[in-house]
Homo-oligomer: A and B are copies of this chain.
Amino acid sequence: MPADWIAQFPGLLRLEPAVREVLTRKSAVITVPEGTVIFGPGKSPENLLLLLEGRVRVQQVSEGGREIVLYRVEAGQSCVLTTACLLAHEDYSAEGIAETDVRAVAIPRPVFDDLVSQSVMFRNFIFTAYSRRITDLFQVIEDIAFQRVDIRLAQKLIDLERGTGQIKATHQQMAAELGTAREVVSRQLGEFQRRGWIRQSRGSIDLIDLSGLERLAALDVG
């Protein structure tokens, strides 16, 4: 009964039956513990991952040791950059980290190649996923270049709060989310706290007035 994970990927639902059979037979469901570096400089992945549960954070690490979060791969999405990473032999400076325990379908490179070759639907699935990521990157570029940090911080807080009303992250980690400096985050969060939108404690942030943050976040463009 391992086959039914396909239902979690709308783009694969209409897969040709023969292809579908190959996909389910030649791939494996794996689990990866939280914190694992899935790919990174000098660590090419051997598989394309389709996430069933959990979350992968993809971030850029610069030579100066600074980090910036590029995007996250959520359950139901695929980690397509690994495919480009598989084929191009330049080293990526980006790395993917399991942000939670992850359960995923692992498609070995030869099988991936086979599927791309044989199935129009699978090709669509892959190229659509690419498109999605590239759009994400465009958005990151636009935000960093043109958006005020207070607005971006408010947006990020809303984005990272997953129903819990709380975010477990240090100021340093929030700075990496935005590609800015820790001090900037500290000061902005201080301001948010003065306005009664959040409450801070070491290593976590409680959101107590989401609507205030949302008003700021909505200012968006200039």
B88 and A132 contacting across the interface, CB-CB below 8 Å: yes
16 residue pairs from A and B, CB less than 8 Å apart: A60-B141, A68-B142, A70-B138, A70-B141, A87-B124, A87-B128, A88-B127, A88-B128, A90-B131, A90-B135, A117-B120, A137-B137, A137-B141, A141-B179, A145-B179, A146-B179
How many copies the complex holds: the figure is 2
Interchain CA distance A168-B1 in the complex, whole Å? 64
A118-162 CB contact bits vs B (8 Å, 1 = yes)? 101001100110111111011011101110000000000000000
Contact size range, A: 35 or more
Most B CB within 10 A of own CB, among A85, A140, A141: A141
Q: What residues of chain A have their CB less than 8 Å away from a CB belonging to chain B?
A: 60, 62-64, 66, 68, 70, 81, 83-88, 90, 92-94, 113, 116-118, 120, 123-124, 127-128, 130-135, 137-138, 140-142, 144-146, 179-180, 221-222
